[in-house]
Each structure stands twice: as structure tokens, then as C-alpha cells.
A and B are shown apart, each in its own frame.
Chain A
Amino acid sequence: MAKTANKKISRRQFFFIIVQTQMGVGVLSLPFDLHQAAKQDGWISLLLASMAIQLIIVAMWLTASTFPDDDLIAFLPKLFGTIIGNLLSVAYYLYFICICVLILILYGRMLHLWILPNTPFWLLAILLAFTGFYLISSGLLVMARIYTFVSILLVIIFFLLVFALRDIQLVYLLPVGQTPVPQIFKGAQAAILAMLGYISFFFLYPHTKGTPTERLKTMSYANLFVTLFYLFVVFVSFTYFSTSEIAFVPQPVLYLLKAIELHIISRVDLFLLSMWIVSVATSFSTYLFMASKGVTDMFHSKKPSRFALFSTITIVIASLIVGIDEQPIDSFTQFVTHVSMVFSTAMPLCLMLYTVTIHRFVRRKRDGKI
């Protein structure tokens, strides 16, 4: 591990880490969430969200390329001084922990609803959390290898959904553009929540090979890939279920696969759900990685596994406290949504503005004096 820690990941691996982190728990319920907010125009919200994220990516890139060797936790103190910087780092640490908890409980509820109604949640939580811990304790390079490898599951998911194309009705997409603009923006917010992983850019950027421009390109391709994949999922769900039906199916992707009967196996949805678990595990692991990397750097510790273990246990306990009942999950989701708006959208933009204006100005002034 010590050896691999110094090696940089290739741009292909970078691409797949971003893709796997962005795709996660949200993919199964995304069409439903979009539909709730923006009816059949949900796909417009998705495109809008994707463009917003692209903007944020450019902003993050501008910040990150000012500090080519530092990740978020390392450059925050350089930007704002030790005290404020460390406070922000702690805030980010807590934010990542919150997302991990959210992933854990959403995954727990999904399995509880769909295949394992009698299995206790703590068992599922421990299983996922410690798989994530095992994964991140191998280092970024091994994570990158695995993320690249499991991306083959996305291809399988794609082909499973292609089966559903036989029964779609394009007319369900009509009328286009009838939803009021505020509703579409509300849908975009839901879409951003499903595509959150882009913040990992801050942590991967210094560990990736290639020129700054190449890395920005790869990142943009990853975002484009996720957008197209989501768009396909949303398209299939929106045209398979009619506008009034979809309001009754919280996991449209699973429902539409449930109806498909292949000759060898029935219930394709169970296989999709199994592959979805891998996707969840990968995005969970990235957040866990960022959290424990952050806290390790803050304490300048040489023993990252200790902090990773600490974070993992914290996450499991917190998720058990929240539990998988309807009410607390909804309020927790609301909470994380609001927090995410601050940490994943507003903060990167502010950081960029601060870096390109004040920080640059201050540095130039200081350099000029010396």
C-alpha cells in the first residue's frame, strides 16, 4: 500500500472514479423524483442540472489548478489561514460523513423494501460500511482499478433497460415544456442530488496524471457520460409509465424490469438491484475515502487506517440512530439536500471567486513586497 500510495491514477481511472461516485443510490429513484417536481419535463431539469454541474466543474478546476499538489483539505488553510481553513475542513468532514450516512440508510431502506424485509438493518449497514473500509484501506490506486472493473456492470444495466424499449410509448413525453419554470428548477435540484459525486474532483485532481486541461476534459466527459446514462434511464421510465402511473411507483426502474420475463430467468429487477449495490458501495467508498483522507490530513497523521476505521464506525452508529423508517429518512434527506446546496454547489463557486480575485491579489501583493 505504501508503494501504491505515491503512484498517480491514469485519466481513464479518474473518469471511472467520477462516474462511479456520481452514480449511486439516486439512480433507482431519480425518475420518480424528477417526475414529482417537473412532471414529464423532468428530463429538462436533468439537462439543466448537468449544465449547472459543468459550470461548477469549471469553477472547481480553476481553484484546483491554482494548487496543483493539494487536495481540498490541504488548500483550504492556504486560502483562508489555519483557523478558518481548518474549520471549513471539519465542516467538509462532517458533510461527507452525512452523505455516507444518507447513502447507508437509503440503501438499507431500498433492500428492506425490495428483497430483505426481515434482515436487520445493522447487519446490512455493517456489511456495506466495512466493505467500503476494506476498499479504501487499499489506497486510491486499488480503488481506481476496482471502479474501472465494476463499470462493466453499467453496460449490463444498459442492456437490461434496452429490453424495456419494446413497450415504450413516446407520446407520454408530450406535451413538452408545459411545466412552469420554478418547477423545472426544483427538479434540477433533485437531479443535482443524484449526481453529487463531482466534489471528489477536488480530491482526485492532484493524484491524476495529465495536464490541467486534459484533466478538465476527462472530468467533463465523465459528467457527460453520467448525464447521458441518467437521461436514458429517465427516458425509459418516462415513456414506459404514463404521467399518471409514475406517481405511484417510487422505483420506476425496478418496476419496469419486474415486468420483463426472460426465458432463463424471471425478475430481472433483482439482478439490477444486485448490481446497484455495487454502485452504491463505490460511491459510499469514495465519500468515506474523502472523509478519512480529510481527517487524516487535518491531524497530519501517518496512520490513515485508524481514522478510516473511526469514520466507518461513526457512520454506522449514526445511520443506526437515524434508522430506516419513513419519517426520519425524509427529514434527513431534506437536511442533506440543503447542506449539499451549500457545500457542493455554493462553496465551490465561492472558492473559485475567492481564489481568482482576493487570493490572487493578496499573493501578487505579497510577492511584490518581497
Chain B
Amino acid sequence: MKSFRSSGGRQKEEKRKQETVPNSTSLEDNITYFIEAFHQSDDLKLRILEEGRTVLLYVESLVDQEKIQNEFFKPYMQMGDQEIMKVSSGKKVHDRKKIIKMLLKGHCAFATDGSADMLLFHTTSAFNRSVEEPDNEKVVRGSHEGFVDNLMININLIRKRIENENLVVTFDKLGKMTNTKVAVVYLEGVANPELVEKVKTRLKDISIDFVISPGFIEEFIEDHTYSPFPQMINTERPDKTVANLMEGRVAVLSEGSSTCLMAPATFFAFYQSPDDYNSRWFTGTFIRLIRLFSFIIAIGLPAFYISIVGFHFEVIPKDLVIPVKSSINEIAYPPIIEALVMVIIIELIREAGIRLPTPVGQTIGIVGGLVIGDAIVRAGLVSNFMIIVVALTAIASFVVPSNEMSTTLRLLTFPLIILSATLGFVGIVFGMLLLLIHLSRMESFGTPYFAPLAPLHVKDLKDTFIRLPLFKMNTRPKNAQPIKKKTQTTSREWRRDGKNSK
């Protein structure tokens, strides 16, 4: 019932959007209408020309004066107002609603008395920051370009990398009041049409007044909102976007944001970085393994340590018993309190350092890390070993290339610490088991989230745990649901020929 009603509401809304209000032939009427429509906003400029017979209308804050000069005044001076109506590059429009929309985009409108048509000239000003490497996704080798906050430039960055007519871009407007432009980008013939349809329907279903960032969009279209894990790949890198498009994923970009969202995502997608492919495959594999190992450290190490000192002291080999024992003997608090104190201190330092200017941020790091770390041990609040464990955990959580996943990991540490402090190893086992069940039951746009491990696709392990040489990766990973499986035929034919000739 509810859905029926809402769909009715949507229809009404669309109808209202399609309504047209024609211009009148009287110049005065038209101008008053637009001034009223903008509620006498002061940056709506009127330039009255030829003693009031013609008017140029624009929103001052959106246009580029130089462009007005070139696009409008130059031809106007040469031809005069009658001629310009016939031959100019301007677009004739007589629908008031449409004209308002175009004015808001930074076009300027030229109106003459006695005509319902207005001429629109494209004079949008663009303030763009230059294309720079994103700060949070730096790579050592490879492309150093990053998305900016302008949708067209971002799509240009993608198009430049895929010169193929099969790359499809579809636009949509999101946010009932902000009318934010959103683009869905995919590669026809590779991306699964069902997936594309799914992304588009979910985007269309969003009915909210304003959309600011992709974070908004993500929360509306992801499958499991009540899960700590991110379910869409976030990136500011065009090369990463292109690689994912080529695997058959669908990208969502929005105006005013430099982040691109991609679906479907799997757990392991957050552990990949373009660097893996820029370096030699041995190194790439090694770094991947280190990253996945960091996952285990980040969520499990404090819990493991707590359960050892709290429950299973026998696990420590005999040579290590005395140092550990002497370190924790003097501490007044139980290990769980120690761990929680340390984890929270590290979170405080991190959060304090993020938004401060760089020099102050460094000071916080030194004061927080060195001074507190040293003093807290001397004061007997936290043991040496706990500092090592928690510091290692924090470092491990930052190894993940994706910021979202990193925060998720640090959040997951807490329940595991509590479980291990109450039940020891048994607690850890149940914590991990629950985590595994949670990961396995999640799906992102129809792809199992924990693929290719559960369900197991042996073929796709080639690009998750390890990275094989590129010429070995003949098929696209199944988790992107591509309809074109093959990526290449034999690329190293010369090698085989060479052998034969020997």
C-alpha cells in the first residue's frame, strides 16, 4: 500500500516537472516573471540594451564575463538584434521553466520585446581545482591524476583512458531540491545489463531533498545498511575506476564531488591498490599477502594477547614467560581495561590529527605517541607489551588501502576485545565465526561479498590473495558479473615461437 502511494506521488512529481509555462510576447511581463521567480535575488543581473527594447539576463555569480563578451556581445555588435536572432549560436527557448533551469546553470538569456523566444548562450564559468593526485590514495608508480569536483572533467578523465564507443554515460538528477547531476558509467558488452539496471533503479528510487556526497548515495543504494562493512568501492583515482569498469563494474559519479562509487564490491576489492599492478608481480603478490595479514592483526591481535595473558598463559613459550610476566605484574588494571584505554587513546590522537594543519598535526603525533606512550608505562597504567600490541594493531589497520575498510577494522577490534576478555580463545573463535557468517551472508548488488573465498572460486584467487602476471589473467573475475569473460587471447605468442625456433 505504502509503495503504491509513493509511486503515485512520484508520478505526480514527474508530471509537474514536465509542465511548461510559455513566455509571453511582452518583454516587461517576462522580465517581471523572472525577477519574481528568483525572489528579487540581487545576483540576477539585467542589462538593458537599445533603450529598453532588448534585455540580457543572467545570474552574475554563475557566469563568466569574458564568455559573455565573446559569445554574445561580439556577434551582437556586428549584426544587431534582428540578425542575431536568426544566425547566432544561441538556442531559442520559450519555456519559462526551462529558461530558469538554464539560467541556474550559468547560461545568459537574451530577450527582445515582441518575441516569446529567448536566446540562450552558454556562458558558464567554471572554477576548478587542477587535476591532482588524491591525497588519500597515493601510488608510488603509475598515473598521478585524480578526480576533481567537476563531473564533466571526471568523465573526461575516464573517456581519455577508454577510447571506446561502448563506454556509456547516463545522467540523472538526484535530490529534489538540489538537482544534483549524477552519472552512471559502464562499459556496454562487458557490464552485466541486469547489474546496470539494478544500479539505475536504485538511484531512481532515491527521493530526498538533497544529495551532497557519494556517501549519501551509497547509503541509499547499498544492500545491507546495518553492516559495518563498506559495500561499494570508493575511489578518487581515474585509473582505478577504469580498471574496475573494464572488469564489468558500474561507476556512479556525482557533480561536486571527487569520489567515484563502484558496484558490486567484494571484501577483497578493498585490499587492492593500483600499485599492485604497477610493480612486478612478485612484489605485488607479497604486498597483497602483507595487507591480508594486516587484516588478521588489526582485528585479532589485541584479542589474542588479552586471552593469552588472561586465560591461557601456558601458550607462551617458556623463554618468554618471565619478560611478559614481569611487564604485566606491576599493572593495576586487568588487560581489557589496558587495551581499551590504549585503543581509545590512539583513536583520539588520530581524530585530533586529521583536521589540524600539518605542523600542529605532527606535534599532536609526537605528544600523543611518544610522550603519552612513555609516560603511561612509567605511571604503571598500561604494560609495555600492551603498548606494542595496540600500536601494531593501529598500524595494521592503516595498511588497508581503503579508508572505509580501515575504520571498520578499528571498530571491529572492540567486540573481539570484549569477547576475548570474557571467554578467552573460545570468545575469539565465536567472534571470528560470527564475523565469517556475517561476511558470507552479505551480498553487494547480487555478488556474494566474501567471494571468491565463500563461495569458493579457485580461478578468481589469482587476483585476490596473490597477483599473477597479467598475461595469465585471461578471464574477468566472476564477482563483477561480467557478460564478456575473456580479457585476452595469447599475448605472448612471440615467446612460444622463440622456443620453437630454438
A interface residue numbers (CB < 8 A to B): 1, 10, 12-13, 111, 115-116, 119, 123-124, 127-128, 131, 134-135, 138-139, 142, 144-146, 148-150, 261-267, 270-271, 273-275, 277-278, 281
Residue pair B314, A270 in contact (C-beta under 8 Å) = yes
Q: Is B318 an interface residue (CB 8 A)?
A: yes
A145 touches B450 (CB 8 A): yes
Contact of A145 among B316, B317, B454 (CB under 8 A): B454
How many contacting A-B pairs (Cβ < 8 A)? 90
Given A134-B434, A148-B456, A150-B436; A266-B426 close (CB under 8 Å): no
Residue of A nearest to B425 (CB): A274
CB-CB < 8 A to A262: which residues of B? 317
A116 touches B429 (CB 8 A): no
- Taking CB atoms, residues of chain A closer than 8 Å to B317 are 261-266
Can you list 22 pairs linking A and B with CB atoms under 8 Å apart?
Answer: A1-B441, A12-B456, A115-B426, A116-B423, A124-B426, A134-B437, A138-B437, A138-B441, A142-B437, A142-B440, A145-B440, A145-B454, A149-B436, A149-B440, A264-B317, A265-B315, A266-B314, A266-B318, A273-B425, A274-B425, A274-B428, A278-B429
Complexed CA–CA distance, A53 and B286 (Å): 46
Q: Is B424 in contact with chain A by the CB < 8 A criterion?
A: yes
Tell me, yes or no, whether B311 is within 8 Å of chain A by CB. yes
**Cβ-defined contact, B426 with A274, below 8 A:** yes
* Interfacial chain B residues near A127, Cβ < 8 Å: 423, 426, 430
| Interfacial chain B residues near A145, Cβ < 8 Å | 440, 448, 450, 454-456
B453 within 8 A of A: yes
Q: A266-B314, A270-B314 are in contact. Are A115 and B425 (CB under 8 A)?
A: yes
B485 contacts partner chain A, Cβ-Cβ < 8 Å:
no
Chain A residues closer than 8 Å to B348, beta-carbon distance = none
State the majority secondary structure of interface residues on B.
Answer: helix
Residues in B with CB closer than 8 Å to A263 are: 317
Q: Is B37 an interface residue (CB 8 A)?
A: no
Q: Which residues of A contact B437 (CB under 8 A)?
A: 131, 134-135, 138, 142, 146
Residue B312 at the chain A interface, CB threshold 8 Å:
yes
The verdict on B433 contacting chain A, using a C-beta distance below 8 Å, is yes
Complex alpha-carbon distance, A270 and B316, angstroms:
12
Point out the residues of chain A lying under 8 angstroms from B426, CB to CB. 111, 115-116, 119, 124, 127, 274, 277
Q: Is A142 a contact of B314 with CB atoms below 8 Å?
A: no
Q: What residue in chain B is nearest A151 (Cβ atoms)?
A: B456
Q: How far is the CA of A262 from the CA of B314 in the complex (A)?
A: 12
List 16 additional contacts besides A150-B436, A277-B430; criterion CB under 8 Å: A13-B455, A115-B426, A116-B311, A119-B426, A124-B423, A138-B441, A145-B455, A146-B437, A146-B454, A266-B314, A266-B317, A267-B312, A267-B314, A274-B428, A274-B429, A278-B433
